[in-house]
Amino acid sequence: MNSSIGDVKPQTMDFEEPLLLKCGDTLSNYQLTFETYGALNDDKTNAVLVCHALNASHHVAGTYDGDEKTLGWWDNLIGPGKPLDTNRFFVIGVNNLGGCHGSTGPSTINAATNEPWGSAFPMVTVEDWVETQARLATKLGIDIFAAVMGGSLGGMQALQWTIDQPNRINNAVIVAAAPKLSAQNIAFNEVARQAITLDNEFFDGDFYQHKAIPRSGLKIARMIGHITYLSDDTMDVKFGRTLRKDSLKFNFDTDFQIESYLRYQGDKFADTFDANTYLRITKALDYFDPAAKCSGNLAESLSHAEANFLVISFTSDWRFSPSRSEEIVEALVANKLNVSYAEIDSPNGHDAFLMDEPIYHNLISAYFERIWNERCDV
């Protein structure tokens, strides 16, 4: 019990049905990379879709080739005996369209040109992702998800599922999310995008053909993002003003631990993530605003939702503060939907959704226990 699910292998699925994107472009075909954990039961009522956020992928749980360093990003939550128990549930992680971990995206080959898509890859939205995830579910024989779940941008996808696919989702678990970005949220994304697009190695998005990578821009983008994921308090407890050496250096090398930590995180990210994907995912975040179609009335946009909801926020999350989750909760309550809401006391900022916080994990566990039992009652 409570062990990792062990080694896993990503799978791919080809889609030949044209996909009309919200931006107006059509993809004539595309591929999604995904992983599954646990087994789909005979009546296909135990499937759970886990949606990823800005920096993650379909690799939600388990390891590759026994390497603990390859542990999935939500492995502490998902596995045998874990809060989302893969002994009970069939869990799916999908690399979103436009991603850079296997699914068709800017860094994959465009069959029409036999070159990487690069700047020609269209803009993708949360709605597009929900559509592609629904198509994948259909191909896997899943009519209805027991739950769709995600943190941050992943939670936004879960919310969009309840709007776009109300008959195919029984529960939405929305963690550390918001119904739309604030001006400040957009501002941070825009600085990150400027850092990438102004990088000399970006070549207007067609850096692959130049054998270049806009590493500096990606690094800066990641450093900015990282600051917004941590709370001021966490940073002070974890790093404070601790120096790397005994004294100040009086140069532009790293004096403080927090500086070298951020540089390290930025460099690591620049080694593994695609700049065009980063640009598009931040735009998908900025564009997400389901209430916009209803003149800003979020409750109205959710008027056809039928799912039950678990909404969770964290006290020290200043990226998507508890008040942002409460906007979602209020819109759900206005629709007399079944919603559980918890504001978890945590010092860990936005990143708390990725951490093993006992009250948080117990809550997820209890919620999935209820889903499991209600499923048996049927």
Of 82, 88, 180, 350, the one binding a second copy (CB under 8 A) is 180
Pick 21 or 173: Cβ nearer a second copy: 21
82 in helix, strand or coil?
coil
Sign of CA dihedral 312, 99, 219, 197: negative
Q: Which of 148, 195, 285, 344 binds a second copy (CB under 8 A)?
A: 195
Tokens at 216, concatenated: 């500096």
**Does 250 sit near a second copy (CB under 8 A)?**
yes
Q: How far apart are CA 254 and CA 286, in angstroms?
A: 33
Q: Binding to a second copy by residue 223, rule CB under 8 A?
A: yes
Catalytic annotation, pick one of 57, 103, 107, 152: 152
- CB atoms near residue 187 (< 10 Å): 11
Q: Which amino acid is at 283?
A: K
Read off the tokens for 314.
């964290």
Beta carbon nearer to a second copy, 60 or 218: 218
For position 259 contacting a second copy by CB under 8 A, the verdict is yes
- Site residues for a second copy, window 2-31 (CB under 8 A)? 22-24
Residue 241 · residue 223 · CB < 8 Å: no
Among 143, 190, 271, 306, the residue binding a second copy under the rule CB under 8 A is: 190
Is 350 an active-site residue?
yes
How many amino acids of this chain bind a second copy (CB under 8 A)?
54
Reading phi first (left if > 0) and then psi (alpha if -120 to 50, else beta), residue 311 is in beta
Under the binding rule (CB under 8 A), the answer on residue 350 touching a second copy is: no
The span from the first CA to the last CA of the chain, in angstroms, equals 27
Give yes or no for a contact between 58 and 95, defined as CB atoms under 8 angstroms apart.
yes
Q: Interface with a second copy includes 241 (CB under 8 A)?
A: yes
Q: Tell me, yes or no, if 289 is annotated catalytic.
A: no
Residue 274 known to be catalytic: no
Place of tokens 């002994």: 87
Q: Which residues bind a second copy (CB under 8 A)?
A: 22-24, 122-123, 180-184, 186-188, 190-191, 193-195, 197-200, 216, 219-220, 223-224, 227, 230, 232, 235-236, 238-241, 248, 250-252, 254-256, 258-259, 262-263, 266, 279, 283, 286-287, 289, 318
